[in-house]
């Protein structure tokens, strides 16, 4: 089997460090946040994607956006349903 090596070079063009819950609707909305320490993965990522389209694209040109959060994520499964 042939090994293929990839190299990823990333340039950080902007960092958005939010200070309040209202600045981070992709993790802080009641419909997304669960149990205080988890977020629903699909809802959080959809919300973040919408924010990148409506807000971030007006601020900076980019081809990739990454969301870092201190929350655990889950995918609509036990024990939260």
Domain ranges of the chain: 1-81
**Whose structure tokens read 């990148």?**
52
pTM of this structure: 0.69
Task: With beta carbons less than 8 A apart as the criterion, state whether 69 and 23 touch.
Answer: no
Res 77: pLDDT = 57
Tell me the pLDDT of the chain (81 aa) as tens digits.
788 888 877 777 777 788 888 888 888 888 888 877 888 888 888 988 998 888 888 888 888 888 888 888 887 654 544
Q: Are strands 33-34 and 72-74 parallel, antiparallel or unpaired?
A: unpaired
Res 67: pLDDT = 84
């Amino acid at each position: 089997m042939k090994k293929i090596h990839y190299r990823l070079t990333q340039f950080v063009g902007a960092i958005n460090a939010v200070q309040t819950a209202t600045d981070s609707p992709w993790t802080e909305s009641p419909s997304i946040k669960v149990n205080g320490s988890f977020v629903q993965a699909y809802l959080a990522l959809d919300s973040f994607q919408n924010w990148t389209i409506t807000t971030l694209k007006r601020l900076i040109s980019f081809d990739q956006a990454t969301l870092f959060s201190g929350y655990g994520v889950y995918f609509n499964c036990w024990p939260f349903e």
